[in-house]
Amino acid sequence: MMETVLYSDDPNDGLSFGHWLTIARYTRKMKSEGMARPEVIEKLKEVRLRTPSEVIIKQLQELISDGTLRPGDRLPSERELAGRFRVGRGYVREALQRLEFYGILKTYPNTGTIVASLGVKALDGLISNILALDRNDLQSLLETRAVLEIHSAWLAAQRATDAELAALETLHREFRLQVEAGRVGLEEDIAFHLKIAECSRNSVLRSMISLISTEIMEVAQHYQTFRDGRVNQSLEQHAAVRHHLQQRDPDQAASAMAAHMQQFLDAVMPGLHLASRHESMITIAWPPVPLASGAAGGVQS
């Protein structure tokens, strides 16, 4: 069977002979080697298995959707849920923390965990959005972490107490001892960052950094970000961040954290670069001052 292909030597009039010849040769090569067309391959999607915490979230969503679990209802304890789901309590805790972070659950002292007082449709939609979040979007995770960590350091340099800086020094020392003993010290590394987030005095920022810390640890382990002496670089960069925090220099603390984040990016996704400077969008008076009647508050332009 013959195929008719129109072509022209005029580059402005359809395919040139060179283009036609290239396409024809590539088509014959695919047929002879049994290759699938590129557009077919592009349509194939990664098979993604849900984590235990996502399965738990999905089950809670179904209970809310069918009316079994209503707004204002109290959930069983973490231990009861783990026994019922037959999973470790860590998975239950992760699921509940994600739902609480997005306002779907509320935890009260001496009361327990309660389903938020939102409409069933709103709750169902919120949970669907959580499950639809692409946990494999590595670039988005790394970019978001960098933004959070850099601004966290910028705020911490202004807001950390002397006691908190002393605690940060202790965490840095523990990390250094792990490295000197030939260990990775990943938990000590993450603890250092969580402490800086705490020093920022921004509860939302702290919660967001805490929320992604488990995924960051998984990325670090998967990509071996501590290989080739990088763990020693991390130790030095931690020391630089700590120094600028102690000097109460927010811009230098942010710059040191940016360099640390860039090293992590280089280990995971070479070619992904942060902006060269940290620019704070707003300056907030700290500690907060009482608002005078009709005053704009502590935000400076």
pLDDT of residue 279: 44
Q: Report d(CA 226, CA 183) in Å as an integer.
A: 10
- Rounded Cα distance between 299 and 283, Å, is 6
For the record, the structure tokens of 189 come out as: 């590394």
Whether the model clears a pTM of 0.75, i.e. scores above it, the answer is: no
- Token pair listed for 171: 């965490």
- Pair 174, 233: CB distance under 8 Å: no
> For residue 284, what are the β-bridge partners?
299
Judge contact between 204 and 103, C-beta under 8 A: no
Residues 6+ apart with CB under 8 A from 224: 267
Report CA 57 to chain centroid distance, whole Å: 19
- Closest of 138, 160, 226 to residue 188, by C-alpha: 226
Q: What is the pLDDT of residues 41-74, one digit of tens each?
A: 777 666 666 778 888 888 888 888 888 888 888 9
Question: Is 151 strand, coil or helix?
Answer: helix
Ranges of each domain in the chain: 52-129, 138-284
Domain 138-284 in the same topology as domain 52-129: no
Domain 138-284 has CATH 1.20.120.530: yes
- Calpha distance 89→102 (Å, rounded): 20
Tokens at residue 168, please?
């940060």
Environment class of residue 52 by beta-carbon count within 10 Å: exposed (0-12), middle (13-18) or buried (19+)? middle
Residue 141 has what pLDDT? 85
Q: Are 14 and 8 in contact (CB under 8 A)?
A: yes
CA 159 to chain centre: 24
- Are 270 and 231 a contacting pair, CB within 8 Å? no
Q: Let me know if 55 is exposed, middle or buried by CB neighbors in 10 A (0-12, 13-18, 19+).
A: middle
Note the pLDDT of residue 6: 41
Token pair in block for residue 215: 């995924």
The C-alpha atoms of residue 179 and residue 171 are separated, in whole angstroms, by 13
| Residue 34 CA: distances (Å) to CA of 1, 26, 42 | 19, 12, 17
b/e sequence 249-260, b meaning 16+ C-beta within 10 Å: bbebbbbbbbbb
**The dihedral sign for the CA sequence 236, 242, 248, 249:** positive
Give me the pLDDT at residue 33, please.
Answer: 59
User: What's the pLDDT at 301?
Assistant: 33
Query: What is the pLDDT tens value at each position of the chain, 301 positions in all?
Result: 444 344 444 444 444 555 555 655 655 655 555 666 677 777 766 666 677 888 888 888 888 888 888 888 899 999 999 999 899 998 898 888 888 877 778 888 888 888 887 766 766 776 776 666 555 577 888 888 999 999 999 999 999 999 999 999 999 999 999 988 888 888 899 999 999 999 999 988 998 888 788 788 888 888 888 887 888 999 999 999 999 999 999 999 999 999 999 999 888 887 777 654 444 433 444 444 444 434 333 333 3
Specify the CATH number of the domain 52-129: 1.10.10.10
